[in-house]
């Protein structure tokens, strides 16, 4: 359909704009943070946080604005002034939101290239600069005598700013589009325009909650001991505010809405929808906190890993891999509980709302995620500018917290992507069932082609990881040769 293609291109373009905008904001904030750290660590922290805040709010607001304008334009083109029957109304709205679904797919397509390409560039530049400087020439990290330092600093902006921003934009757009496609089959939701737009309202409330929570970061003075806790508390505060702020919005929904999926009908009330959003929101918070626990230098996992280095590289690699694998247990359990609760009470519509809830405080999540690369680059700039050692000491304290917050952003991205993929699959099944002559669309695991596909699908992440790691290693070696010549 040409309309779906147009939406796809608009989503792809918006994703590119988000990535470019993120890099532009970060590069403008990097040197300002270095200068602010020359005054005090408190000034440096607030400068880096403000840069991340501009990044987070700009990206989420842009994604929501473009999606709303696209729906408004398509509605004017697709929807007639009146309908002869409920079935006709559902038909037209299905056509509308299926065309809109291209917006999320376009954003995710560009995000894939930005995330993988930016990630390979980032890690290759980081590894190449470190090996060329520390191993080959005996230089300190971010030494101005190492040309690879510039590539390393640029890579932080490309991978952790542009890539992550585009990735989370794609997840938000896809979750919203999946919820709209599924909701278009419910006449109870279609009768109330505010109800059908409820997924967009959730994101708007998240922007409001994130805006209120950012004021709390300015309470008190930042020192070397409370940087990480101040950032971590932003997630908790924004989640509490959103939990309260979204209660008035649920009264925009009908008292009971019948939502169908795969031949089953779910009687969904406003409080059931609220529960789906809340379990997604708080599961995301738990995933963020668990990620912080496993990556922060304040807690035993990282400290024990440091101790293992005393015995050589082999114990460090073994325990590091074990630590990484064990860190997935609680997030997977959170996702399982979220999927079970949402699906049991609201079908795939609930799962989509759970994904949107997990991304509810996305402006703040992107704020603390963007803070990390900004603080990291500020340290590189201070080293390359031959500033006083106290400036580098301040940027290192900010950077240590930033490494953890960057990991928190990855936890949000992976968790929400899991829910979004399930919601999109549900929207696909819902649409196939609506157009099929059979009573319901069934995926049979025992079907030969389905079972073979499951095996191949389970292999793809490992093959993809092998290709990306090989690309990083090859690029790093070529970078070392270039630096040494």
Distance, in Å, from the CA atom of 383 to the CA atom of 397, rounded to the nearest integer, reads 14
Minimal CA–CA distance to 52: which of 325, 369, 478, 463? 369
pLDDT tens-digit profile of 144-157? 777 777 777 777 77
User: 14-28, 302-316, 432-446, 454-468 — which is least confidently predicted?
Assistant: 432-446
Task: Indicate the domain borders of the chain.
Answer: 2-442, 445-485
| 86, 187 contact by CB (below 8 A) | yes
pLDDT tens-digit profile of 327-337? 888 888 888 88
pLDDT of 442 higher than 60: yes
193 token code pair? 């325009």
pLDDT tens-digit profile of 211-236? 998 888 888 777 777 777 788 888 88
DSSP codes of every residue in 177-237: HHHHHHHTT-HHHHTSHHHHTHHHHHHHHHHHHHHHHGGGGGSS---TTSHHHHHHHHHHH
Q: What is the pTM of this model?
A: 0.82
| 114, 167 contact by CB (below 8 A) | yes
Q: Where are the alpha helices (DSSP H) in 256-361?
A: 270-295, 300-308, 313-326, 329-358
Q: Is the dihedral angle over the CA atoms 462, 468, 471, 472 positive or is it negative?
A: negative
């Amino acid at each position: 359909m040409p309309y779906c293609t147009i939406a796809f291109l608009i989503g792809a373009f918006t994703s590119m704009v988000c990535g470019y905008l993120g890099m532009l904001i970060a590069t403008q904030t990097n040197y300002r943070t270095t200068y602010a750290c020359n005054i005090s660590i408190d000034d440096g922290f607030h400068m880096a946080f403000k840069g991340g805040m501009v990044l987070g709010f700009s990206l989420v607001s842009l994604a929501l604005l473009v999606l709303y304008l696209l729906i408004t334009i398509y509605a004017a083109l697709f929807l007639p002034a009146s309908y002869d029957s409920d079935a006709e109304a559902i038909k037209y709205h299905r056509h509308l939101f299926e065309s809109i679904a291209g917006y999320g797919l376009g954003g995710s397509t560009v995000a894939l290239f930005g995330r993988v390409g930016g990630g390979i560039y980032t890690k290759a530049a980081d590894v190449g600069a470190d090996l060329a400087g520390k191993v080959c020439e005996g230089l300190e990290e971010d030494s101005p005598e190492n040309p690879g330092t510039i590539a390393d600093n640029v890579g932080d902006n490309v991978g952790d700013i542009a890539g992550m921003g585009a990735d989370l934009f794609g997840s938000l757009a896809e979750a919203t589009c999946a919820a709209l496609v599924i909701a278009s089959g419910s006449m109870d939701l279609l009768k109330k325009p505010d109800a059908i737009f409820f997924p967009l309202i959730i994101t708007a409330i998240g922007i409001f909650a994130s805006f209120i929570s950012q004021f709390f970061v300015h309470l008190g003075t930042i020192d070397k001991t409370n940087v990480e806790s101040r950032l971590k508390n932003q997630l908790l505060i924004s989640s509490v505010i959103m939990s309260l702020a979204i209660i008035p919005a649920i009264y925009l929904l009908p008292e009971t809405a019948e939502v169908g999926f795969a031949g089953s009908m779910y009687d969904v009330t406003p409080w059931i929808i609220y529960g789906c959003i809340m379990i997604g929101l708080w599961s995301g918070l738990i995933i963020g906190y668990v990620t912080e626990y496993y990556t922060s230098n304040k807690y035993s996992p990282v400290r024990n890993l440091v101790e293992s280095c005393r015995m050589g590289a082999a114990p460090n690699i073994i325990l590091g891999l074990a630590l990484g694998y064990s860190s997935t247990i609680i997030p997977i359990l959170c996702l399982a509980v979220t999927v079970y609760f949402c699906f049991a009470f609201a079908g795939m519509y609930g799962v989509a709302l759970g994904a949107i809830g997990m991304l509810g405080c996305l402006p703040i999540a992107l704020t603390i995620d963007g803070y990390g690369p900004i603080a990291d680059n500020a340290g590189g700039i201070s080293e390359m500018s031959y500033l006083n050692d106290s400036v580098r000491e301040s940027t290192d304290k900010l950077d240590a917290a930033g490494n953890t917050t960057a990991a928190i952003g990855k936890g949000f991205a992976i968790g929400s992507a899991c829910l979004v993929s399930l919601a999109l699959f549900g929207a696909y099944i819902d649409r196939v069932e609506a157009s099929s002559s059979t009573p319901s669309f069934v995926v049979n695991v025992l079907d030969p082609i389905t079972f073979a596909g499951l095996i191949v699908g389970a292999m793809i992440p490992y093959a993809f990881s092998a290709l990306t790691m090989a690309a990083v290693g090859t690029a790093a070696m070529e970078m070392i040769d270039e630096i040494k010549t």
